[in-house]
Amino acid sequence: MPPDGQHMDRRVRRTRETLKSALLHLIKQKDFNSITVSDIAEEADFNRGTFYVHYRDKEELLTELIEEIIHGVSQRYVMPSEASEYKIDYNQEKPGSLPFFTYILENSLFFKVMFESKQLEGYIHNQLFQTLQKYLSERMTYLSDNDERMSSDEDIYVIYLSSVIIGVVRFWIKNDFQYSPEQMAKQFNYIALRKPLQSMFPS
């Protein structure tokens, strides 16, 4: 009796996750261009045939891995259904960026490997930047409606904040994630949105 569809789906997911994990560990050891399908299959303890059942080549595997993680970044925030639901709190105990930093830490191996890869660093930077831009652009509607301090030049603010977030993530990676997501979120909220900028560029 053949296995049911749900069981097969679980098995497919497990196999693909194992292949992604194998690729990630190999990228940590050497350049992506020098990695072969045989390397990935051996690292995952599969044969080449199993690899080709799921992916055409290593590039397709890499693309799926990156898209999956970046999609996760975009899901870390929940947009309010009404503008009136959103209020800025510069001193909030749990900043809105906490889910983002928590997700980065949960996937620390991925982000560390990608940002430290000479071949892939630029690509992952651009993918993360575009995701942050999209989220922040959508969020600006709520910010503008609920805080008169926000500038009408929304594009500039979005570019600025996206760059700050990636810079903070890079710092965190470089320091081997020694700070907790809670510390990172609170410091980000403080630095990016409040006093340091006001002190450096007083009105």
Print pLDDT tens along the chain (203 aa). 344 556 659 999 999 999 999 999 999 999 999 999 999 999 999 999 999 999 999 999 999 999 999 999 988 864 433 333 434 444 555 677 899 999 999 999 999 999 999 999 999 999 999 999 988 888 776 656 555 555 557 788 889 889 989 999 999 999 999 999 999 998 888 877 665 455 444 55
Distance of CA 54 to the CA centre of its chain: 24
pLDDT attached to residue 13: 94
Kindly state the tokens that stand for 81. Answer: 């259904």
pTM of the model: 0.81
pLDDT attached to residue 200: 44
Q: At what angle do helices 154-174 and 181-193 cross, to 10 degrees?
A: 140
pLDDT attached to residue 91: 52
pLDDT attached to residue 152: 56
Kindly state the tokens that stand for 161. Answer: 């904040």
Torsion angle defined by CA atoms of residues 113, 116, 122 and 125, in that order, rounded to the nearest 10 degrees: 60
Query: CA–CA separation, 57 vs 186, rounded Å?
Result: 42
Q: What is the 3-state secondary structure (H, E, C) of 127-171?
A: HHHHHHHHHHHHHHHHHHHHCCCCCCCHHHHHHHHHHHHHHHHHH
Q: At what angle do helices 58-74 and 37-44 cross, to 10 degrees?
A: 60
pLDDT attached to residue 157: 81
Domains of the chain and any CATH numbers: 1-62 (1.10.357.10), 76-203 (no CATH)
